[in-house]
Structure 1
Amino acid sequence: MSALLEVSGVSKTFDGFKAINNLSFSVNEPELRAIIGPNGAGKTTFMDLVTGKTRPDSGEIRYGELSRDLTKLSEARIAQAGIGRKFQKPTVFEDQTVSENLTMALKATRNPVTVLTKRPDESDRVADLAARVGLSDTLEQRAGILSHGQKQWLEIGMLLAQEPRLLLVDEPAAGMTSAERERTTAMLVEAAKTRAVVVIEHDMEFVRRLNCRVTVLHEGSVLAEGSLDHVCADPRVIDVYLGRPEEAADA
């Protein structure tokens, strides 16, 4: 494995609040990585910085073999470079079918006239994507009638259609049933076999199922890193995020 993303000494302050504080860590390709931490730890800001939605006050974010500094690129250029982001709330075209949503997302040169016209090779790609995200039986259904979990899967499929090298996923398990979380786990594990997948999540059982390296953020910096068992045994992580059993009993 080689480093695909290198975050070096990055800081970001909002109105006097230091959301990211000299943050440094790397993500390999391929790799599945989970990022956890208390509210306000800087998790979402980290994703904003990587995707160009927010600019850092200092530091570098290097990406790919050419080690391009993402802080110098626009959001559009970053997306074109192969970085995809899934927000917590699914964003799909609810009046279009699952098939049409996936077709529109395919990585290709398209124009408004041909965007909903599938060529034979695109039909095969759409069918493959639908199978990868468990939506083969819903291809002709309107996206608006899908369950919450299915909409999450559709958005993941739409991102995979763009063939990203780095996929950022924000709290995919939120609002899902146990069965949906299990399928989502398998989906992300499979995706991470050929690319880097970074998952922000609060559900510790979901993170355990991912069975991957975990980075704990606190006050905008890396507090601990390693397996889930390793970071959960770290007294600092227990104090700032997990809490101690006796404290939970007293609450």
Structure 2
Amino acid sequence: MSTLLEVSGVSVTFDGFRAINNLSIQIGEPELRAVIGPNGAGKTTFMDIVTGKTRPDQGRVLWGEKSVSLLRMSESEIARAGIGRKFQKPTVFEAQTVRENLAMALKNPRGPFDVLFSRGLDDADSRIHGLADEIGLRDHLSRPAGELSHGQKQWLEIGMLLAQDPRLLLVDEPAAGMTPTERQHTTDLLKRAAETRAVVVVEHDMEFVRRLNCKVTVLHEGSVLAEGSLDHVTGDQRVIDVYLGR
């Protein structure tokens, strides 16, 4: 497994408060990683830095085989480089159908010859059906997204991100507000996605993290407190003191 993302010695201060403090973290490809920690631990800020929304005061954020600096890139350039992010609240086009949502998200060639010969249409259609299968919405392609359950909207948004074929997918609290059945499906979906790319899941729900069965990074006060299997980190007295014991 090669290193896809390397965050090294990164710090960020907001109005005198150090939100990220000398943070170093490496994500491989492919890999499934869970990031946990108490509120204010720096989980969201970590994702903001990787996606270019927040600029750190110091440190390096390197991407891909050529170790390109993400700190020199805009948010849109970072997204085009292959980093996708899913926020906690699903953002889908509610008036559009599931099919239309997936079609709008597709990363397909828009060259004059593709348009001229409509070569892309068949490819796009099979890709949409493949994505719908993957996220479990094959039977809902013609439904407006606004009619979907909360869990189904979350899957649709994940599908829309997968349509862009990211190498790294950042997912914020996917299990929140889901039924037990929806949570199980979400677990399966994320595990499958991580077979071919890097998937980082920020989550509070320990049972959900256990189901992911992956390496866990615990953040506290903006830096890594512990890292390893869930059993390893939940057995760490420092983690118990600052997070689990609350």
Match of 2:101 in 1: 101
Note if 1:64 corresponds to 2:64: yes
Measured in 2, the distance between the counterparts of 1:77 and 1:122 equals 24
Measured in 2, the distance between the counterparts of 1:93 and 1:109 equals 22
RMSD, aligned CA = 1.3
Which runs of no fewer than 5 residues in structure 1 stay unpaired?
none
Matches within 5 A, 1:29-68: 29-68=29-68
Measured in 2, the distance between the counterparts of 1:9 and 1:110 equals 40
- Please give the secondary structure, in 1, of the residue aligned with 2:177: coil
Residue of 205, 208, 211 corresponding to 1:209: 211
Q: How many positions carry a matched residue from both structures?
A: 240
- Please give the secondary structure, in 1, of the residue aligned with 2:231: helix
Residue of 139, 142, 148 corresponding to 1:140: 142
Measured in 2, the distance between the counterparts of 1:192 and 1:8 equals 23
Deviations 1:4-39 (A, max 9, x none): 000000000101110000000100000000000000
What's the CA shift for 1:66? 1.0
Measured in 2, the distance between the counterparts of 1:69 and 1:18 equals 22
Deviations 1:94-114 (A, max 9, x none): 010000000000002459xx8
Kindly report structure 1 stretches of 4+ aligned residues shifted beyond 3 Å: none
Measured in 2, the distance between the counterparts of 1:81 and 1:25 equals 19
Matches within 5 A, 1:54-133: 54-110=54-110, 119-133=121-135
Measured in 1, the distance between the counterparts of 2:108 and 2:77 equals 15
Match of 2:244 in 1: 242
Report the TM-score, using the length of structure 2 for normalisation.
0.95
- Please give the secondary structure, in 2, of the residue aligned with 1:119: helix
Match of 1:12 in 2: 12
AA paired with 2:100?
E
AA paired with 1:144?
G
- Please give the secondary structure, in 1, of the residue aligned with 2:178: coil
Measured in 1, the distance between the counterparts of 2:96 and 2:239 equals 44
The percentage of aligned residue pairs carrying the same residue is 73
- Please give the secondary structure, in 1, of the residue aligned with 2:143: coil
Report the TM-score, using the length of structure 1 for normalisation.
0.94
- Please give the secondary structure, in 1, of the residue aligned with 2:92: coil
Measured in 2, the distance between the counterparts of 1:172 and 1:66 equals 31
Measured in 2, the distance between the counterparts of 1:93 and 1:213 equals 34
Deviations 1:131-188 (A, max 9, x none): 0000001000000110000000000000000000000000000000000000000000
Match of 1:231 in 2: 233
Note if 1:168 corresponds to 2:141: no
